[in-house]
Structure 1
């Protein structure tokens, strides 16, 4: 595949979305009528890459984490020690440079992973009042690949101030700033809503493929490295596997030889009251 642009921007009356080639990350998602940024960003998000790096991938991921929405393949979190080749923290796909192309109101991102025999084809599209992310994971090899998969959208933390958060399985508490924490939730049933002061968000996904939901809260609550009490983000992350996945495999999703596993995640955004005037 030939090299594409470093970033693709899409715009509708409701949303502006920008997709980076690095990790196929959704770097920016703006609600146009209110000008509100929906995804979290860190103070160092736009810093240029430099030669310095930390020796372990978890430390380096957190040192340079820019926010936004990543796809984590073929593993979320730390890789099992016994799996070869070694995976970087949150999986190879989030570290690779993908090939981007714009196709109408969509951005297509593609990458061939090298640690597992998979091609990932991801299409980010603007739809009515929202965003749709379609991902296809294809196995080119003659052996079954067993992987984990998580979607990693990190939302701007202040959207959750005085908000009501509900999943398909019940309510979900998000503590106000300053606070921090992580929960691995079962039974979210493939949907959640955030009813805030300015915006209402509705996230939906395939609960059979992603039966779990990681809830990461970094609301200026960690004073040391890497956040220094400067980051306000809430990650609501559909996942195929528990975060503490047993160490004998990357995950529970089996991709048979020649087979393709597909996912669709949608995010609908609605302005509330005077915020849309």
Structure 2
């Protein structure tokens, strides 16, 4: 009999794709092993608040919507339902690495993952997802765990190099937030002393330092030719779109809060960069059409969003030695 109290899980299909829900008294998390292991629901039940942004285009199965040879951007964008993705082994724009052409945001976000139940008791539920990349000799695992009574999702990822050669990778957590949780005026907190590197700046130590709790201002050049962006607060609808990078974390964490909040904690020694992606409705062409109000705060190994080859060239890419595995632990916690 399926348990319907304390910690519990349920496996099912969602729009034809394999799905699993981990749930307890206060939190419900829905994951799609059938599509990249995407987290498409992170719902705080007492306040009916889902922190995950969902795209207006809805959920699309990549296996059913590829017509001919899709371009390297469409493979991700045309099937992007929002949600939270694992990004590996390349982040951002298409890139060529050692003869392997990697599409937008790499390989694993568009692949089906295997799923096995690790624990299923009233005290704890846990599932392990696994996948192998097709163009590079990598294997990835992610184990998601939810304990009874706690509004905390624990995630352990493992990236393994199955070859006898040293290889590079960009590894990231594509965590994005939108309405109804994210609204203008929501506050963003970061550790003391981190610094901001604008998208088009070279990697160096001259990035502007910011104070914990803000206000932090990073100069940008929006359409009107002037102004600044305050990175400590979600801006109004229609504000300029941009990407910046934050680094120098003494400890990997951030918080976003309004009436309720979420805190992400991760290993910043492994993922030393936080990509801040801002799309608040200013983009009126493909693929957003002015419909998005979304903020991405994405821990990453490597930058910028130009793909793996650029990260290798500037020295920020992750290196996995022959047959080496690296383990990443991170968690998402609701703040009330």
Question: Is the CA contact 1:82–1:247 (under 8 Å) kept in the aligned structure 2?
Answer: no
Name 1:226's counterpart in structure 2.
287
> Post-superposition shift, 1:112?
1.3
Alpha-carbon deviation of 1:76? 0.3
Instruction: Name the structure 2 match of 1:275.
Output: none
Q: Where in structure 2 are there 5+ consecutive unaligned residues?
A: 1-11, 195-211, 215-230
The one of 260, 263, 268 aligned to 2:325: 260
* 1:73 and 2:88 aligned: yes
Note the alpha carbon deviations across 1:205-263, whole angstroms, 9 max, x for none.
Answer: 11111111111122233221111122222111001112146538496212122221010
TM-score, scaled relative to structure 1: 0.88
The answer on 1:177 being equivalent to 2:192 is no
Residues 267, 55 of structure 1: alpha-carbon distance in 2 compared, 3 angstrom cutoff: same
Which residue number corresponds to residue 114 of structure 1?
134
Pairing of 1:64-143 with structure 2 (within 5 A): 64-81=79-96, 83-103=98-118, 104=120, 105-127=125-147, 128-143=150-165
Equivalent residues in 2 for 1:47-58, closer than 5 Å: 47=60, 49-52=64-67, 55-58=70-73
Q: Tell me if structure 2 keeps the 8 A contact 1:7–1:100.
A: no
1:193 aligns to 2:255 (yes or no): yes
RMSD: 2.2
Distance change in 2, residues 1:148/1:51 (3 Å): closer
Give the C-alpha shift of residue 51 in structure 1.
4.0
1:100 to partner: Cα distance = 1.4
User: In the alignment, is the contact (CA less than 8 A) between 2:242 and 2:279 conserved in 1?
Assistant: yes
Q: Distance in 2 between matches of 1:202 and 1:53?
A: 41
Spell out, residue by residue over 1:161-185, the C-alpha distance to the aligned partner (whole angstroms, 9 max, x if none).
3222111133333322223322122
Contact preservation (8 Å) 1:152, 1:236: yes
1:144, distance to aligned residue in structure 2 (A): 1.5
Higher normalized contact order (CA 8 Å, seq sep 6+, divided by chain length):
1
Quick check: 1:11 aligned with 2:23? yes
**Cα pair 2:186 2:258 within 8 Å, conserved:** yes
State the shift of 1:54 in Å.
7.4
- In structure 2, how many angstroms separate the alpha carbons of the residues matched to 1:183 and 1:109? 31
Q: Secondary structure at the match of 1:33?
A: helix
CA distance in 2, matches of 1:33, 1:115: 44
Distance 2:37 2:159 in 1: 14
Counterparts of 1:226 and 1:54, CA distance in 2: 19
Aligned match of 1:30? 43
Q: Which stretches in structure 1 are left out of the alignment for 5+ residues?
A: 272-277
